[in-house]
Amino acid sequence: MRRNKPLAVLAGAALFALAACGGSSDNPTSGSTKTFDPSATDIAKDPKRAAPAADIDGATAGGTITVYLPGDPGPDSLDPTEGWSVTGNSIQQALTSRSLTQYARDPESGDMVLVPDLATDLGTPNGDFTEWTFTIRDDAKWQDGSTITPEEVAWGITRSMDSDTFPGGPGTEYSQTYFKDAGKYKGPYTDKGKTWDGVSVNGQDITIKMAKPFPDMDYWGAFMAMGPSPLGKASDPPDYGQNIQSNGPYKVESFRPNEELTLVKNDQWDPKSDPARHQYADRWVFKFNQDTAKVDQIMLSDNTDSQTALSTGIGSNNYQRANTELGDRLFQQSAQCTSFLSPDYTKIKDIRVRKALAYAYPYQDMWLATGEVPGVTRVPANSIMPPGMAGKKEFFADGEQFKFDPEKSKELLKEAGYAPGDYKISMIYYEADPLAVAGQKQLVKGFQEAGFTVVNGGYPVQDSPYNIWLNPDDPLNKKLNLRGVNWCSDWPSGLTMLPPLTKTGAAYNTAQFSEPAIDQKMSDIPSMPLADQAAAWGALDEEIETKYFPIIPTAFRNDLFVFGSKIGNGVGDGALGAPDYKDLYVSQ
C-alpha cells in the first residue's frame, strides 16, 4: 500500500528525500530514548475470535476525538474499492467499512491478530488455495438498518475487479492477479452486462474462485475492498465515494476531501456482531493537510482542545521536546515500510552504475535536510522486504551496507567507463515543499561529489511526483532516468512487497524493471507449500537485489504519533502503521 502522506505538503521530500535518510546511524540515542523499532515478525490468526470485542481496561464512552494529519491530504474518495492508502484504509477499516476479516490489537503484546469480521471465521480454502469459502454472518447491518447480505459482499468483491474504474485501488494488484478470469474480465462497470462467476453465493456462504493459488486470501479479506457495497445504482462510482453507506460503528456526517472528515455514532451497528471494533467516542473529526508546525504547538500546549486530540506526525525540530515532555504520549509505531530510489532499468542498464548511485546518495544529509529523526523514524535499509517481515534475509547487495561513499561511487563509475561528471541523472523533485527543495540540494551535492551530474539540479514539479512517475505518457516522465517510490506491505508477506514493485508492468514499478525469470518466480511462489513461501520470498528478494539491483532501498521507516493527555489507550496499529483507531477512547 503506498504511503501518500509524504506526497502532500510536508514531504514531497518523502519520495526522494524522506526516502532518503538512513546512512550509518551507529548510535542514534544521545539524548533520545527512542530507537528504530522493527515491526512484529508475523501477524497471528485467530479464526475463532467471537463478537463482541473485549472491553479495553478503563475505557469510558462519550467525547469527541480530533485527529490532526499534518501534511497528509487523506483520501479523495471513501469508496471502499478505491482505498489503497495507509491513511484512508486505517480510518475506514477501523470505523466505517467492514470487510471479510480484520485486525485486532492484542492489548498484552501490542501485536496485531487477524480475526473474522463479516465472515464468521477466516475462510476455508480448498487443498491448493484456488477456492475460498467465507460464511457471512447474518446479524451485521448497514447504517439504514437493513441486513448486510452475502450478495452485497459478493458485489463488493466483483467491483474490485474493475481496474479501469478504480485505477488506484488494491484490486488492480490482487483481484486482477489472483481471482478467476484475471486479465479477461474487466469488472462490472467496464465490462457492462458480462457475467462473472468468480464469486458465487450459496445461502450465507460466498465462494471465491482463483486463477492461481492464493494462500493469502484471508489477509486480502481485511481490505475494505473485500467488503459489501449496496447493490445496483446506489454504489455507482464516483458518487458513492463521496456518500458511502457505513456499516461500522461510525457513519459519515460530512466529508470534504483534503480538508475534513466527521464521523458520528452509527446506532445500527451492534457490538454483538463485531469481534474487534469498539464505539467509545461520540464523534471523530479528522483534519487533513494540517500544518506541521501548528499541530506540534497544539499538541505540546496540552490545552483543553488538544487533550482529546491526536496527531499522526511531529516535526523533527520538536521531537526532542516532545520526547521529554510527553513521555508515553509520543508513540512510536513500527510499520513494514521501505523507501526506494528507482533507477530506470531500461536506461541505466549497467548494474555498476546503479550500485554507484547507492553509494552516491547522501543518506544522512538528505535525512537531516528533510527533517527526519535519525535512528528513530528512519534507518538504513538493505533489502526490499522491511524488517519484521517473515523470510527477510540479512544480506548486502554489495557485500556491505550502502552508505555515502563518493570514492567508491567514482570507482564503480570508472569501471563502467564513465569519467566523473559524465553520467547524467534526470530526476524530478516536489518544489512546493521547502524541505523537499532542501533535500534535493543535498542530493545534487552528494551526487556531484560522487561523480554524477544531475541535469539542471533536478526538474521541479508542482504536484505529487507520483502523478508524473505513474503516468507512462507524461513527456517529463519519459525524460527521467531516476525515480522513487515509498511502499508499505499490505499484509506481512513478501507477496505484497516484491510483485507490486518489481513485476513487469506493475503500477508502482517505477524502475520499469522487467526480467521474465523473476516474473516467473513471482508467479510460482504462491503455489508453493505454505511453510516454504516466506523463505522463498526472502530468497527472491536477495536474488533480485544482488543479481539485478533494480531498486535501491534507502530506508526503513517508523512513524511517530502524539496522543492528547485525555486520549485513553493511545497506541498504534502495527498492521497498517497508523493509530489504532478501533481501541481509542476519551477518558472522562
Partner 1 sequence: MSAQTAGPETLGHLSEEPPPVDPNSKQAKTITGKSPLRIAFGRLARDKIAVVCAAVVLFFVLVAVFAGAICSIFNVDTETVLATTRVDFLNNGLPLKGPPNHGFDPAHPFGVAPNTGNDNLAFWVYGCRTSLMIASIATLFASVLGVSLGLLAGFLGGPVDKIISFFTDFFLTVPFLLAALTIAPIVSQRFATSPHYARIQLIDLIVVLSVFGWMGIARLIRGEVLSLREREFIQAARVLGMPTRRILVKELLPNLVAPIVVSISLMLPAFVAAEAGLAFLGIGVTSGISWGQTINTASNFFEVYPLFLWEPLIGIVALVLALNLLGDAIRDALDPKTRR
The residue ranges that bind partner 1 (CB under 8 A) are: 25, 28, 30-32, 292-293, 315-321, 362, 364-371, 374, 404, 428, 431-434, 437-438, 441-442, 444-446, 449, 456, 459-462, 476, 479
φ, ψ of residue 334 to 5 degrees: the values are -80, 150
Is the Cβ of residue 371 or residue 526 nearer to partner 1 in the bound state? 371
Is the Cβ of residue 201 or residue 438 nearer to partner 1 in the bound state? 438
Is the Cβ of residue 32 or residue 512 nearer to partner 1 in the bound state? 32
Is the Cβ of residue 112 or residue 356 nearer to partner 1 in the bound state? 356
Between CA 231 and CA 152 the distance in angstroms is 6
- Write the burial class of residue 30 (CB in 10 Å: 0-12 exposed, 13-18 middle, 19+ buried): exposed
Cα angle for residues 76, 80, 86 (degrees, 5° grid):
65
Q: Count H helices, E strands: the chain?
A: 18, 24
CB of 113 to partner 1, least distance (A): 37
Is the Cβ of residue 10 or residue 119 nearer to partner 1 in the bound state? 10
Between CA 497 and CA 554 the distance in angstroms is 15
Give the number of C-alpha atoms closer than 13 A to the C-alpha of residue 561, restricted to the C-beta side.
Answer: 27
Is the Cβ of residue 278 or residue 378 nearer to partner 1 in the bound state? 378
* DSSP 8-state assignment for residue 85: B
Is the Cβ of residue 170 or residue 446 nearer to partner 1 in the bound state? 446
Residues 214 and 225: beta-carbon distance below 8 Å? no
Give me the residues paired with residue 330 across strands: 562
Is the Cβ of residue 20 or residue 100 nearer to partner 1 in the bound state? 20
Residues 79 and 166: beta-carbon distance below 8 Å? yes
The set of residues, in sequence order, having a beta carbon less than 8 Å from that of 69 and lying 6+ positions away, is: 5, 87, 286, 287, 288, 289, 290, 311, 312, 313
Listing DSSP states for 294-354 in one string gives HHHHHHHHT-HHHHTEEES---GGGHHHHHHHHGGGEEEEEEEEEEEEEE-TTT---HHHH
CB of 557 to partner 1, least distance (A): 17
Q: For residue 242, how many other CB atoms are within 10 A of its CB?
A: 15
Among residues 382, 370, 376, which one has the least CA distance to residue 340? Answer: 382
Beta strands 428-430 and 459-461 are: parallel
Cα angle for residues 152, 157, 160 (degrees, 5° grid):
130
Place of cell 505540546: 300
Among residues 1, 2, 72, which one has the least CA distance to residue 466? Answer: 2
Is the Cβ of residue 82 or residue 433 nearer to partner 1 in the bound state? 433
CB of 429 to partner 1, least distance (A): 10
CA 441 distance to own-chain centroid: 28
Is the Cβ of residue 362 or residue 570 nearer to partner 1 in the bound state? 362
CB of 486 to partner 1, least distance (A): 20
CB of 461 to partner 1, least distance (A): 6
CB of 309 to partner 1, least distance (A): 20
Is the Cβ of residue 318 or residue 554 nearer to partner 1 in the bound state? 318
**Is the Cα torsion angle 369, 374, 378, 379 positive or negative in sign?**
positive
CB of 362 to partner 1, least distance (A): 6
CB of 475 to partner 1, least distance (A): 9
Residues 51 and 274: beta-carbon distance below 8 Å? yes
Between CA 89 and CA 25 the distance in angstroms is 32
Between CA 64 and CA 476 the distance in angstroms is 46
CB of 439 to partner 1, least distance (A): 9
CB of 528 to partner 1, least distance (A): 43
- Classified as helix, coil or strand, 584 is coil
Q: Tell me the residue length of the chain.
A: 588
CB of 483 to partner 1, least distance (A): 15
CB of 493 to partner 1, least distance (A): 34
What order do you get walking across the sheet with 112-116 strand by strand?
44-45, 112-116, 101-105
CB of 451 to partner 1, least distance (A): 15
Is the Cβ of residue 30 or residue 588 nearer to partner 1 in the bound state? 30
Is the Cβ of residue 270 or residue 431 nearer to partner 1 in the bound state? 431
CB of 300 to partner 1, least distance (A): 9
Is the Cβ of residue 388 or residue 439 nearer to partner 1 in the bound state? 439
CB of 438 to partner 1, least distance (A): 5
- Classified as helix, coil or strand, 250 is strand
Is the Cβ of residue 349 or residue 479 nearer to partner 1 in the bound state? 479
Between CA 248 and CA 268 the distance in angstroms is 9
Q: What is the largest CA-CA distance in the chain?
A: 71
* DSSP 8-state assignment for residue 149: P
